[in-house]
């Protein structure tokens, strides 16, 4: 596996206009309980319209 040099890595972040650490974001590796809590928190603070959209998305994923 090849990785870019540090200079290339920094240049990529500059071109994308993001901080270098954002290229290394590993949020998806959180523990299941943390993900569950964050999802529930997001849903609880969503509007009814947003909840309906979330519901349809989750339902379609579950049917796959």
Give CA torsion, residues 51, 44, 18, 24, to 10 deg. -100
Angle at CA of residue 46, ends 41 and 51, nearest 5°: 105
Q: Are 13 and 23 a contacting pair, CB within 8 Å?
A: yes
- Position 50 scores a pLDDT of 95
The CA distance from 54 to 40, in Å, is: 11
At 5-64, the pLDDT tens digits run 899 989 998 998 988 888 887 776 788 898 899 999 999 999 999 999 999 999 998 887
Q: Are 4 and 12 a contacting pair, CB within 8 Å?
A: yes
Hey, where are the domains in the chain?
Answer: 1-25, 31-64
Q: pTM of this prediction?
A: 0.51
Reported as a pLDDT band with limits 50, 70 and 90, residue 4 is confident
Q: Are 55 and 46 a contacting pair, CB within 8 Å?
A: no
């Amino acid at each position: 596996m090849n990785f870019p040099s540090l200079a290339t890595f920094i240049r990529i972040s500059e071109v994308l206009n993001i901080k270098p650490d954002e290229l290394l974001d590993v949020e998806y590796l959180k523990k299941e309980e943390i993900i569950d809590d964050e999802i529930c928190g997001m849903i609880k603070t969503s509007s009814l319209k947003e909840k309906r959209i979330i519901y349809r998305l989750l339902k379609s994923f579950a049917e796959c």
